């Protein structure tokens, strides 16, 4: 008589917020899959639904609460985790039926809550599933060809507009050998682009005094430059070099050392630096370094070493006390800096942030007007920089391949080394071959450009 193996319990996931939260979701699902759970793509098929929340801004909290409400309405069995988990009383007051609430990157607590809500015991024939290796490539919520590589948790800064240290704690760097092992396995399993993320990538290893670990028979420091150099040695099974992109890089002096690695081709020539503002007065109120003149000098030096360097940043407009003079200073600084990619945000008070008590609140109408002006400024800079690429042949990683049109032409969408997924522009291509697949690298002749994207043909 055959033994009937029961169907595994199924878990649904709603993941909100930044790439760091997405990595948390991947790790949670990897552990649950190792415990015998299956993943559900919809509410109806899930025995329990996890909602990984964002709690950085009030608007993000509203989105998180809406997602929790939808999950309860559609499924009824909901576990909440993530940054907004620190406000469990708010969540339970609005949704008393949630099964459990845990905080950011509390993996064990989330898994335990799932075990209690939907026990996974499937019997002796299927219980002996290997436990998840925390450094292995597990469940991915991104396309197969790119992966986020989180190197640390938390942050030691005390920026007046931010509550990340309250949500995620102080800097907690991962062992460098564990990070490199994860990166190696990701590349071996199909990743062609690694996106290095943290709250402060430049501070990696400060909390452990840049301790050394053995890797490939040699000591390697827990330090951003050592990490970058080692990631530049990775190769795919076919012998290709994956792209390695650095995000959330604060411009500490040692960042200068990674620019030559980009010039040598070991790293993707791309830096994501959260400048936030340029006015010394506003930066002081934000409790951020106010060395904007020195930054301009360093940008010039970096571009002299690596002319293809792309610099992305984000800025806050309408911060308390920001005057028209401060804002004009920022616009003039942007003219000098000529940043390639820029995101702008209207200042939004965050519960618990010191900036909420600062004098000189900027009216909403003024915030909107300044937001429009900074976007107009940065779009004109971007348009000019992209126009300069027309006529050039550049490397592109393919994200999506379309169907053949009536003339048999196949289009594809990809990104250049200047474009991170989700936040930057795209390269739209014609002339794709029938065997082109996402994750492949191609050379493309750029024929047109607009303020954000490039258009061309595969050569």
Contact 146, 196 (CB under 8 A): no
Asked if residue 306 belongs to a known ligand binding site, the reply is: no
Q: What does the alpha-carbon distance between residue 23 and residue 182 come to, in Å, rounded to a whole number?
A: 12
Contacts of 444 (CB under 8 A, 6+ apart): 393, 394, 395, 396, 414, 427, 429, 456, 457, 458, 459
Contact 365, 335 (CB under 8 A): no
Closest alpha carbon to 54 in 15, 102, 90, 100: 15
Asked if residue 155 belongs to a known ligand binding site, the reply is: yes
Contacts of 386 (CB under 8 A, 6+ apart): 425, 449, 450, 451, 452, 453, 454
Contact 433, 410 (CB under 8 A): yes
φ, ψ at 328 (rounded to 5°): -65, -35
Token readout for 105 is 């990157």
Strands 100-101 and 78-82: parallel
Q: What is the CA radius of gyration of the chain?
A: 23
Closest alpha carbon to 15 in 27, 32, 6, 1: 27
Asked whether the CA dihedral 362, 363, 366, 367 is positive or negative, the reply is positive
Token readout for 4 is 């009937």
Output the known binding site: 18, 54, 83, 155, 159, 162
Q: Which residues are documented as binding site for [4Fe-4S] cluster? A: 18, 54, 83, 155, 159, 162
């Amino acid at each position: 008589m055959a033994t009937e193996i029961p169907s595994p319990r199924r878990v649904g996931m709603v993941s909100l917020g930044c790439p760091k939260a997405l990595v948390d979701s991947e790790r949670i699902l990897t552990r649950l899959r190792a415990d015998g759970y299956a993943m559900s793509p919809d509410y109806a098929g899930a025995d329990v639904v996890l909602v990984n929340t964002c709690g950085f801004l009030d608007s993000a909290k509203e989105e998180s609460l809406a997602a929790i409400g939808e999950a309860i309405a559609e499924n009824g069995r909901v576990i909440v985790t993530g940054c907004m988990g620190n406000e469990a009383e708010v969540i339970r007051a609005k949704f008393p039926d949630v099964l459990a609430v845990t905080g950011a990157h509390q993996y064990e607590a989330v898994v335990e809550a799932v075990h209690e809500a939907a026990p996974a015991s499937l019997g002796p024939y299927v219980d002996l599933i290997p436990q998840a290796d925390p450094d292995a490539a597990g469940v991915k919520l991104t396309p197969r060809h790119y992966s986020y590589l989180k190197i640390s948790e938390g942050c030691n800064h005390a920026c007046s507009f931010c509550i990340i240290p309250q949500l995620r704690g102080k800097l907690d760097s991962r062992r460098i050998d564990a990070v490199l092992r994860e990166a190696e396995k990701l590349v071996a399993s199909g990743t062609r682009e690694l996106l290095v993320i943290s709250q402060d990538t430049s501070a990696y290893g400060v909390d452990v005094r840049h301790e050394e670990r053995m890797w490939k028979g040699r000591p390697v420091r827990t330090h951003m430059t050592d990490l970058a150099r080692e990631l530049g040695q990775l190769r795919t099974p076919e012998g290709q070099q994956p792209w390695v992109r650095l995000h959330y890089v604060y411009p500490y002096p040692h960042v200068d050392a990674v620019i030559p690695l980009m010039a040598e081709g070991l790293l993707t020539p791309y830096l994501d630096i959260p400048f936030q503002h340029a006015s010394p007065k506003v930066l002081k109120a934000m409790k951020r370094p106010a060395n904007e003149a020195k930054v301009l000098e360093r940008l010039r030096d970096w571009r002299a070493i690596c002319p293809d360097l792309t610099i992305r940043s984000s800025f806050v407009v309408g911060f308390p006390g920001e005057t028209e003079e401060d804002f004009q200073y920022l616009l003039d600084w942007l003219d000098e800096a000529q940043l390639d990619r820029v995101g702008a945000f209207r200042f939004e008070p965050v519960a618990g942030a010191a900036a909420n008590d600062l004098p000189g609140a900027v009216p909403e109408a003024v915030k909107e007007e300044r937001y429009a002006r900074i976007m107009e400024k940065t779009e004109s800079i971007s348009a000019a920089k992209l126009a300069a690429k027309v006529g050039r042949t550049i490397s592109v990683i393919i994200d999506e391949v379309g169907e053949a049109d009536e003339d048999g032409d196949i289009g594809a969408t990809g990104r250049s080394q200047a474009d991170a997924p989700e936040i930057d522009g795209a390269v739209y291509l014609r002339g794709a071959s029938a065997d082109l697949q996402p994750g492949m690298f191609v050379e493309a002749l750029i024929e047109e450009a607009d303020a954000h994207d490039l258009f061309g043909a595969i050569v």
